[in-house]
Homo-oligomer: A and B are copies of this chain.
Amino acid sequence: MPASYETRITRAILDAYHEKFVRSLVSDVLIVGAGPSGLRAALDLALKGRKVTLLEKRLSPGGGIWGGAMAMNEVVIQDEALSALDGIDVTPRPAGSGLHVLDAMGLASALCAKAVQSGVVVLNLILAEDLCVHDGRVGGVVANRTGVGERLPVDPVSFQASAVLDATGHEAALVHMLRRRGLLDRDGPPSEGPMDAVAGEESVVAGVAEVYPGLWISGMCVQVSQGGPRMGPIFGGMLLSGRRAADLIDRALVAG
């Protein structure tokens, strides 16, 4: 029986996705969470020539960017952080007081588009369930299809990487997987601090770090892990945090 047009379409997708999925099993850097810091880190690492896989539990990437503040889809970037937009096709408009506004839809889509064009592999609807840890070093992430592992007794698969970046925001999902086992300080701060936008914009960048061999943090996950303050609907620090994570991870890989 000759393959129908529908069969040929299905086959083309099956093959392309299988090839992409298999390719993503081993990466230089595996990033969990496609919000502002995760996407920016992925883009910068890809531009530096790293093989990057980005896992996102939702259907679409972009995280908190699309919603702006309180569902008003505009976001703010401060003067000092304009470099965070380098290479992304967006046009900030000055809003006084050293602030600039950007259309949230434009920022989220242009940032994601640039990352994919630069070679980042984004796998969506994939939920990180656990970490691989061998000999005291994080070597990968255990993941499942969103909606499958939470409601059915179905086993996950694993993704391997030289470095893993927890960019899951308020959840700090990977950090908590280690804390729960006492592999990271169980008595760390239980959450980020109250909002202090000035201090927060600084500490979210300064706090980027490798918190356990092989595991890095960026974005809101930094504040949650270290008790730094919340920042509000300004995205400069988030993006710069991702950039800094890319820099530090790249250097570590070179050194490694």
Interface positions of A (Cβ within 8 A of B): 1, 3-18, 20-22, 25-26, 35, 59-64, 66-76, 89-91, 93, 95-97, 99, 101, 103, 105-106, 108-113, 116-117, 122-125, 130-134, 138-140, 142-145, 147-149, 151-160, 162, 169, 177-178, 180-181, 183, 189-191, 193-198, 227, 229-230, 232-234
Residues on B with beta carbons closer than 8 Å to the beta carbon of A101? 12-13, 16
Interface centre among A10, A109, A178, A189 (most CB of B within 10 A): A10
- Separation of A13 and B97 alpha carbons in the complex (Å): 13
- Separation of A75 and B69 alpha carbons in the complex (Å): 24
Residues on B with beta carbons closer than 8 Å to the beta carbon of A196? 132-134
List 5 other contacts, CB 8 Å, given A6-B158, A70-B154: A3-B160, A67-B148, A69-B156, A110-B117, A142-B195
Residues on B with beta carbons closer than 8 Å to the beta carbon of A62? 60
Quickly give the copy total for this chain: 8
Minimum-distance CB pairs A-B, first 6: A67-B154, A17-B72, A109-B112, A106-B116, A109-B113, A6-B158
Residues on B with beta carbons closer than 8 Å to the beta carbon of A76? 9, 12-13
B7 and A25 form a contact (CB under 8 A): yes
Asked whether A116 and B124 contact (CB < 8 A) given A16-B95, A101-B13, the answer is: no
Residues on B with beta carbons closer than 8 Å to the beta carbon of A7? 25-26, 140, 158, 160
* Pairs A–B under 8 Å by Cβ, sample size 9: A1-B160, A1-B162, A3-B160, A4-B197, A35-B153, A61-B109, A64-B155, A138-B194, A157-B232
